[in-house]
Amino acid sequence: MKESPFPFIRFYQVPRDCADYNGVDGVHYIYVSSMGKQLQVSCEQGWTVLMRRTGPELNFSRSWVDYRDGFGDVAGDHWLGLEAFHHLTNQGNYSLMVEFGLPFSTYDADNDENIMSRNCADEFKGGWWYRDCTHIVLTGKMATMDCTTFYYQQFKHTGLDDGNKEYLLSAAVLKIKQLT
């Protein structure tokens, strides 16, 4: 039997994810038993952060080993690691929240960053976190002959209709919470 990493709290429940920290934000230790070790994670309102990206400083062009094991600083921008994703989400049924650092726009609430004439939500026929505009609109009109492909490239996305124009998302967060 493995030694507990939390001998000092052996009469209490070992924290398995951020939900066990009762909504206290910040960096906390959890213990994922199938990994057999402590893990530092960032907690937001009981959600366990898998990825945070708020600026260009942290390089995401990484090797498989980096993506598997994680990189960055859990107190800031980071990728927790595929191995951790796997073991964490095997502890139960989790929901995944994806946050984009842009305000949400609909055809009747134009919050996009094109302050001139474009209404991105109307143009792309779907509510989304638009910039000016975008081609990763999962809620948008489906592909036709006019617009046949779209793709991500290093957190950028490029549309066919405007050639080399690229847009950057300002921030994105993936986080999970166990379903109760």
The two tokens of residue 95 are 């929901």
Binding of residue 110 to Ca ion (CB under 5 A): yes
Residue 83 or 123 having the CB closest to Ca ion: 123
Task: Say if residues 102 and 129 touch (Cβ distance below 8 Å).
Answer: yes
Give the total of residues touching Ca ion (CB under 5 A).
3
> Looking up tokens 């924290």, which residue turns up?
15
CB of 169 to Ca ion, least distance (A): 17
CB of 120 to Ca ion, least distance (A): 6
Task: Say if residues 105 and 114 touch (Cβ distance below 8 Å).
Answer: no
> Looking up tokens 């960096």, which residue turns up?
27
Binding of residue 114 to Ca ion (CB under 5 A): yes
CB of 124 to Ca ion, least distance (A): 12
> Looking up tokens 């107190």, which residue turns up?
75
Residue type, 137: V
Question: How many CB atoms lie under 10 A from the CB of residue 33?
Answer: 12
- Applying CB under 5 A, the span of 4-12, 37-45, 114-122, 161-169 interacting with Ca ion comes to 114-122
- Applying CB under 5 A, the span of 46-54, 78-86, 105-113, 153-161 interacting with Ca ion comes to 105-113
CB of 140 to Ca ion, least distance (A): 15
Binder among 50, 112, 121, 140 for Ca ion (CB under 5 A) = 112
The two tokens of residue 94 are 């989790």
CB of 180 to Ca ion, least distance (A): 39
Binding of residue 123 to Ca ion (CB under 5 A): no
Residue 29 or 104 having the CB closest to Ca ion: 104
Q: Are strands 78-79 and 47-53 parallel, antiparallel or unpaired?
A: antiparallel
Q: Which one, of 91, 13, 102, lies nearest residue 48 by Cα?
A: 91
Footprint on this chain of Ca ion (rule: CB under 5 A) = 110, 112, 114
